Amino acid sequence: MKQSLVNLIFYSDRRKDLLLLLKEEPRDIDTIKNLLNVDARSIQPHIKKMKDARLIIEEKKVYMLSEIGEVIVENMEPFLNSIEVFEANSEYWKTRDLTQIPDYLLERIDELEHCELLEPDAEHMLETPKVFMDNIRSSKEIFTLVSYFHPEAPSLYASLAENGTKLTLCMTKNVIERLVTGFPEEAKRLFKSENSKIFICQKPSPIPIIVVTDKFLSLKMFENDGKLRDQLLISTEEKALRWGKELFWHCMRVAEPTEEKPDI
């Protein structure tokens, strides 16, 4: 009985890995063995099946993807990467409200690869994670959208702006009010800095916090019941930074920000 391409590819990690390997460039059998850490006896049956299905072709003892194989692998890779993104932090994604992420970004969720989930323990509940602080302090440009107040933020962002970091800050009205009333000196430094652009969200932000810089992406999302836990997704991958910046500007449009500045 003829085997379907789905079964042929996805029922064998070895065949799947072989296709992804050949996507990079054609390889001979010795290179394939070394890179996949297999021997010829174990990999040759898989190569034969892929050749019979016309996913792989052989020329002068070098294996490469066929035109059909190239099309399949090109579409297969984002699918596999999406699964890896969800599996890496499965409990987090299961409990998060994804309805606030636009469809065009959900379709590219595979770009959030190698995300680290940060959750403080009881002894460090009120502390900002060190990896976040290290990355933001070394960033040259920062885009932040925030819907809740953190007491460390005013001093941090004011210092960054004064030291030459370009800031685009979008805060909800209640965050702005707490900033101005509770930290008037830091607020004045922020609003007067030539490096900072301050926006006020006139509507609740669909995402509680987005921080994306030239160094990293940091993201907090509401749970399905609308609650917010102190869990932070962070990634330094280039694709994730582009994805995060698109989400930032999407939320800016949805939130209808303005450039009004309160009296200080």
d(CA 185, CA 188): 5
Q: Is the pLDDT of residue 103 over 90?
A: yes
Provide the phi-psi class of 127: left if phi over 0, else alpha when psi is between -120 and 50, else beta: beta
Contacts of 181 (CB under 8 A, 6+ apart): none
Percent of the chain with pLDDT over 90: 69
For domain 96-259, give the CATH superfamily. Endonuclease Chain A (3.30.870.10)
In this structure, which CATH number among 3.40.50.410, 1.10.10.10, 3.20.20.210, 1.20.1290.10 belongs to the domain 5-74? 1.10.10.10
d(CA 120, CA 232): 9
List the beta bridge partners of residue 37.
none
CA angle 237, 243, 246 (to 5 degrees): 145
pLDDT band at 189 (very low <50, low <70, confident <90, very high): very high
List the beta bridge partners of residue 233.
117, 219
Q: What residue ranges do the domains of the chain occupy?
A: 5-74, 96-259
pTM of the model: 0.79
DSSP the chain: -PPPHHHHHHT-HHHHHHHHHHHH--EEHHHHHHHHT--HHHHHHHHHHHHHTTSEEEETTEEEE-HHHHHHHHHHHHHHHHHHHHHHTHHHHHTB--TTS-HHHHTTGGGSTT-EEE---GGGTTSPPHHHHHHHHT-SEEEEEESS--TTHHHHHHHHHHTT-EEEEEEEHHHHHHHHHH-HHHHHHHHH-TTEEEEEESS--SSSEEEEESS-EEEE--BTTS---S-EEEE--HHHHHHHHHHHHHHHHHH-EE------
Q: Is the pLDDT of residue 2 over 70?
A: no
pLDDT band at 60 (very low <50, low <70, confident <90, very high): very high
Q: In whole angstroms, what separates CA 135 from the centre of its chain?
A: 15
pLDDT in tens, 126-164: 567 889 999 999 999 999 999 988 889 999 999 999 999
Task: Give the residue from 211, 235, 231 showing the smallest Cα distance to 221.
Answer: 231
pLDDT at 39: 92
d(CA 220, CA 234): 9
Q: Is the pLDDT of residue 122 over 60?
A: no
